[in-house]
Structure 1
Amino acid sequence: MPRRRAVTLAVSGTLLAGFAAGALFQPVPYAELTPGPTFNVLGSQDGTPLITITGTKTYPTTGELRMVTVGVSEESYQMPLGEAMAGWLSSDTAIVPKETIYPAGQTQQQSDAQNTQEMTDSQDSAVTAALAALDIKPTGSEVVVASVTDGGPAAGKLQAGDVIREVDGTAITTGGQTGMDQVTAAIKKVTPGAQVTFVISRDGKQQTVTTGTENSSGKAEVGISIESENVFPFSVSIQLDNVGGPSAGMMFALGIIDKLTSTNLTGGRIVAGTGTIDANGQVGAIGGIQMKTIGARDAGATVFLAPASNCAEAKANQPAGLELVKVNTLDDALNALADVREGKTPPLC
Structure 2
Amino acid sequence: MTRRTWTLIVSFLVVAILGTAGGFAQVPYVALGPGPTYDVLGKVKDTDVVSIDGQNTFPTQGALRMTTVSLTNDLSLFGALGLWLSGRYALAPKEDFIKPGQTEEDVQRDNEQAFSESQTSAEVAALNYLGYPGKVIANQVTKGSPAENVIPLGARIISVNGKQVQSAADVSGALENTKPGDRIEVAFEQDGTSKSTQLTLGKRPDERTSGFIGISPVDRADVPFKIKISLSDVGGPSAGLIFALAIVDKLTPGELNGGKAIAGTGEIQGDGAVKPIGGIAFKMVAAKEAGANAFLVPAANCTDAKQQAPEGLTLIKVDYLKDAVSSLEAFNKGQPTPSC
Does TM-score exceed 0.5, indicating one fold? yes
> How far has the Cα of 1:15 moved from its partner?
4.9
Alignment partner for residue 79 of structure 2, among 60, 63, 83? 83
Q: Distance in 2 between matches of 1:94 and 1:128?
A: 35
Which residue is equivalent to 1:59? 58
The structure 2 residue matched to 1:303, chosen from 294, 300, 313, is 294
Instruction: Give the AA of the match of 2:235.
Output: G
Question: What's 1:262 paired with?
Answer: 253
Please give the alpha-carbon distance, in whole angstroms, between the structure 2 residues aligned to 1:171 and 1:315. Answer: 48
Q: Is residue 2:116 matched to residue 1:135?
A: no
8 Å contact from structure 1 (residues 88, 94) kept in 2: yes
The alignment status of 1:294 with 2:285, answered yes or no, reads yes
Alpha-carbon distance in 2 for matches of 1:175, 1:111: 31
Deviations 1:155-214 (A, max 9, x none): xxxxxxxxxxxxxxx986724699xxxxxxxxxxxxxxxxxxxxxx9xxxxxxxxxxxxx
State whether structure 2 residue 5 is matched by structure 1 residue 24.
Answer: no
1:107 to 93, 103, 115: 103
Q: After superposition, what is the alpha-carbon deviation per residue over 1:125-147, rounded to whole angstroms, capped at 9, x for unaligned?
A: 11111112122221x355679xx
Instruction: Say if 1:250 and 1:277, in contact at 8 Å, map to a contact too.
Output: yes
Query: Does structure 2 conserve the Cα–Cα contact (< 8 Å) formed by 1:175 and 1:229?
Result: no
Counterparts of residues 154-193 of structure 1 (less than 5 Å): 174-175=155-156
Q: 1:3-57, CA deviations, whole angstroms, 9 ceiling, x for partnerless residues?
A: 9675566456535543553452232101122322211111122222122223333
Q: Is the 8 A contact 1:175 1:228 kept in 2?
A: no
User: In 1, distance between residues paired with 2:132 and 2:313?
Assistant: 34
Write the distance in 2 (CA, Å) between the matches of 1:12 and 1:340.
67
Equivalent position SS for 2:51: strand
Gaps of 5+ in 2: 141-150, 161-190, 192-215
Aligned length: 274
Give the equivalent residue in structure 1 for 2:220.
230
Contact residue 36 and residue 68 of structure 2 kept, 8 A: yes
Contact kept? 2:241, 2:265, Cα under 8 Å: yes
SS at match of 1:61: coil
CA distance in structure 2 between the partners assigned to 1:347 and 1:141 by the alignment: 33
Partners of 2:152 and 2:128 in 1: CA distance: 29
Name which of structure 1's ranges 31-40 and 307-316 shifts more when overlaid on structure 2.
Answer: 307-316
2:19 partner letter: A
Q: 2:269 aligns with which of 278, 290, 293?
A: 278
Deviations 1:283-332 (A, max 9, x none): 11112222211211221112111112222333443223222222222122
Name which of structure 1's ranges 318-327 and 121-130 shifts more when overlaid on structure 2.
318-327
Offset at 1:241? 1.8
Q: 1:78 to 1:46 in 2, by over 3 A?
A: closer
The residue number in structure 1 matching 2:47 is 48
1:251 counterpart = 2:242: yes
Contact 2:219 2:270 (C-alpha < 8 Å) held by counterparts: no
DSSP 3-state at the match of 1:293:
helix
Q: CA offsets per residue over residues 76-132 of structure 1, 9 Å max, x none?
A: x53111121222223322221111111111111211111111111111111111112
Change in 2 beyond 3 A, CA 1:8/1:308: farther
Distance 1:12 1:270 in 2: 60
Is residue 339 of structure 2 the alignment partner of residue 331 of structure 1? no
Give the residue type in structure 2 aligned to 1:70.
Answer: V
Specify the code of the residue in structure 2 equivalent to 1:68: T
In structure 2, give the amino acid aligned to 1:93.
Answer: Y
In the alignment, is residue 318 of structure 1 matched against residue 317 of structure 2?
no
Distance 2:83 2:27 in 1: 13
CA distance in 1 between partners of 2:277 and 2:220 (Å): 25
Q: How does 1:136-155 map to 2 (within 5 A)?
A: 136-138=132-134, 140-141=135-136
What is the letter of the counterpart of residue 41 of structure 1?
V
RMSD: 2.9
TM-score, reference length from structure 1 = 0.70
Helix, strand or coil at the partner of 2:95: helix
- TM-score of the pair, normalised by structure 2: 0.72
Q: Residues 113-124 of structure 1 correspond to what in structure 2 (within 5 A)?
A: 113-124=109-120
Q: What is the aligned-residue identity percentage?
A: 38
Measured in 2, the distance between the counterparts of 1:314 and 1:91 equals 17
Alpha-carbon separation, structure 1, partners of 2:97 and 2:219? 28
- For structure 1, the 5+ residue unaligned runs are 146-169, 179-200, 202-225
